[in-house]
Amino acid sequence: MNLPARKHTIRLKPGAEDCRSVACLAKGLSDENRLRILMCLSGQKKSVSKIVEEVGLSQPLVSHHLKELKRCLIVDIERNGPFIYYGLADSRILDVVQALGSIAMDLVAARKTL
């Protein structure tokens, strides 16, 4: 379900419902294993077993993180017979992750030069 890119920037207001949505998204991204799973899903939808194989985490742990990512509306599921495939709900989420990674690296580099 890739959503169309918005043409306008939305300004969040303190106390607004938007802040709750952003907080949920941020919480979904706040775990290293979830970020690894998202990177794994960057190319295509995958089954839990394929994700387990690629990220090297246990099946119960991957399932737990996928449940959280789904709750935060970051991943979607697609059923195909008895199989369930997970994919990114919106490919822009990877842009957010990349931007956060860039900021994190800049902050670490700046801290080292102090």
**90 in a structural domain:** yes
Distance CA 52, CA 9 (A): 36
Coil, strand or helix at 86 = strand
Assess contact for 48 and 59: CB atoms under 8 A: yes
Q: The sheet that has 83-88: what strands, in order across it? A: 46-47, 83-88, 75-80
Q: How many domains does the chain have?
A: 1
**92 in a structural domain:** yes
**60 in a structural domain:** yes
Q: Tens digit of pLDDT for each residue in 47-82?
A: 999 999 999 999 999 999 999 999 999 999 999 999
**48 in a structural domain:** yes
**59 in a structural domain:** yes
Its domain, for residue 75, covers 17-113
Contacts (Cβ under 8 Å, ≥6 apart) of 46: 40, 54, 85, 86, 87
Which pLDDT does position 52 carry in this prediction?
98
**1 in a structural domain:** no
**11 in a structural domain:** no
Which pLDDT does position 96 carry in this prediction?
94
Q: What is the share, in percent, of the chain residues with pLDDT greater than 70?
A: 85
User: Between residues 79 and 19, which one has the greater pLDDT?
Assistant: 79
Assess contact for 11 and 56: CB atoms under 8 A: no
**10 in a structural domain:** no
Q: What CATH number is associated with residue 96? A: 1.10.10.10
The answer to whether residue 11 scores a pLDDT higher than 90 is: no
Helix axes 59-71, 32-40, angle to 10 degrees: 90
